[in-house]
């Protein structure tokens, strides 16, 4: 069994809030669509599509878009945003699609949430046409991520993890070479790597909090420490990035992608 049941429940709380954050990822999404040559007629699978920022941009390039996500509310959101697309609730680690269904399998910021990332990339390879492209992105290493201030503040607000807890967190697969190694283990031939800076900019804390209510990991933490402690921790993490007018800007967040041939 994959992680879809638990992840689906965590990411289902505030689709329009999550969409605020998702649109901040557009620079890396566009870089990935370009490297995969997504254009008119491309059959693309947007795996872990969320509210569908990538699906919208792929459709604007003329692609035929299919999307899958664990969270039903996000699938409802993207189905309205891309009415010609085909969107379903499911697990990215185990699809019902036949072999070689897509020319491009695209996965932005989701492989780290799969139960087994290698099995997930193998599944991407299976549903990708021979010679087609699988492309996935993640947060880059923490030293290039201003937003780590918020991750550190929220982590500090949590009780220590049990000794036998699986290593995880937003940077679990972000160290140099890890995503490339997973691609190779899954039998994908690496054809390119790249990065893009995605500044995170919010009008005010209310907007930042609205997005936070849509983010699965924060929902998971709120189950443990409650909403008010979570809000305090996020406010603390934003402190050094808050301007006099109340806007909050994290200027440097480098996302990395790997592309491979199926």
Ligand X SMILES: C[S@@+](CC[C@H](N)C(=O)[O-])C[C@H]1O[C@@H](n2cnc3c(N)ncnc32)[C@H](O)[C@@H]1O
To 5 degrees, how large is the angle CA 59–CA 60–CA 65? 5
Shortest Å distance, C-beta 244 to ligand X? 30
| Least Å from the CB of residue 187 to ligand X | 20
CB of 160 to ligand X, least distance (A): 25
Quick one: tokens of 124? 């991407």
Other beta carbons within 10 angstroms of residue 188's beta carbon come to 25
Q: Which is nearer to ligand X, 12 or 42 (CB)?
A: 12
Q: Which is nearer to ligand X, 25 or 125 (CB)?
A: 25
| Integer Cα distance of 11 and 77 in angstroms | 12
Q: Between 48 and 132, name the residue whose CB sits nearer to ligand X.
A: 48
CB of 22 to ligand X, least distance (A): 4
Query: Which CB, 107 or 262, lies closer to ligand X?
Result: 107
Q: Which residue, 76 or 242, has its beta carbon nearer to ligand X? A: 76
**Distance of closest approach, residue 111 Cβ to ligand X, in angstroms:** 9
Residue with the closest Cβ to ligand X? Answer: 50
- Which residue blocks in the chain are alpha helix, DSSP H? 4-10, 15-22, 26-35, 53-60, 72-81, 117-127, 148-157, 178-185, 205-212, 216-225, 227-238
225-229, Cβ contacts within 8 angstroms, sequence gap of 24 or more: 225/157, 225/158, 225/159, 229/157
- Dihedral sign of CA atoms 196, 202, 205, 210 in order: negative
Q: Which is nearer to ligand X, 3 or 242 (by Cβ)?
A: 3
Question: End-to-end distance of the chain based on CA atoms, in angstroms?
Answer: 24
User: Contact positions toward ligand X, by CB under 6 A?
Assistant: 2-4, 7-8, 11, 22, 25, 48-50, 53-54, 69-71, 74, 91-93, 108-110, 113-114, 216
């Amino acid at each position: 069994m994959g992680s879809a049941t638990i992840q689906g429940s965590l990411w289902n709380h505030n689709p329009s809030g999550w969409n605020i954050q998702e649109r901040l990822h557009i620079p890396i999404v566009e870089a990935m669509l370009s490297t995969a040559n997504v254009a008119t007629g491309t059959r693309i699978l947007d795996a872990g599509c969320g509210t569908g920022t990538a699906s919208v941009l792929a459709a604007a390039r003329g692609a035929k878009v299919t999307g899958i996500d664990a969270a039903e509310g996000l699938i409802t959101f993207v189905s309205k945003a891309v009415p010609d697309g085909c969107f379903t609730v499911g697990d990215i680690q185990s699809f019902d699609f036949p072999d070689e269904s897509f020319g491009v399998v695209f996965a932005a910021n989701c492989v780290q949430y799969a139960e087994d990332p290698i099995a997930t990339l193998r599944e991407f390879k299976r549903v990708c046409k021979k010679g087609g492209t699988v492309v996935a992105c993640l947060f880059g290493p923490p030293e290039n991520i201003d937003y780590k201030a918020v991750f550190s503040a929220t982590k500090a607000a949590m009780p220590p993890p049990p000794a036998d807890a699986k290593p995880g967190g937003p940077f679990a697969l972000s160290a140099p070479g890890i995503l490339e190694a997973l691609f190779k283990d899954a039998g994908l031939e690496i054809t390119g790597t790249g990065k893009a800076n995605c500044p995170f900019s919010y009008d005010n804390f209310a907007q930042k909090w609205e997005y936070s209510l849509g983010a699965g990991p924060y929902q998971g933490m709120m189950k443990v420490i409650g909403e008010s402690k979570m809000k305090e921790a996020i406010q603390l993490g934003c402190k050094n990035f808050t301007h006099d007018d109340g806007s909050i800007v994290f200027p440097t967040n480098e996302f990395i992608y790997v592309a491979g041939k199926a």
